[in-house]
Amino acid sequence: MIRTWTIIGVTDVRRSLKWYQHLFGQEESAPAHEYFGQVTDADGTVLLCLHRWGDHDHPTLRGPNQGRPGNGLLLFFRLDDFDAALRRARSLVNVLEEEPELNPATGTQEFALWDPDGYYVMVSALS
């Protein structure tokens, strides 16, 4: 089995964890550390890792001023509760970047929004 742990640099791990947990309809929990947290599924599968900018001298996580956060990255999540996720997303942002529409390539509904650190987040129906 192969699992990918996508790690993104964030300004405030606690805030970002709360934001993603709300988007995914999960119970709010505290991050493991002030500098690192994980968004996990009910079975413990890691969906996304959040790493505070500048900690531990990782070359690509030194700070958002080292380049544009999210440049070349699309966070794409498939959710089994698309309609509920859409309602939650609307409560997180003033306007969606892309309103819900059918993606002809996947045959599923999807929408997009920006997270608090400037990452582009695409949500697609799992069906």
Q: Any idea where the domains of the chain sit in the sequence?
A: 7-125
For tokens 């996304």, what's the residue?
Answer: 48
Lowest mean pLDDT among 9-13, 58-62, 82-86, 112-116: 58-62
Cα dihedral 86, 2, 15, 24, rounded to 10, equals 20
| Residues 49-76: tens digit of each pLDDT | 999 998 887 777 788 877 776 776 889 9
User: How confident is the model over 37-43, as a mean pLDDT?
Assistant: 95
CATH architecture type of domain 7-125: Roll (3.10)
Question: pLDDT band at residue 30, thresholds of 50, 70 and 90?
Answer: very high
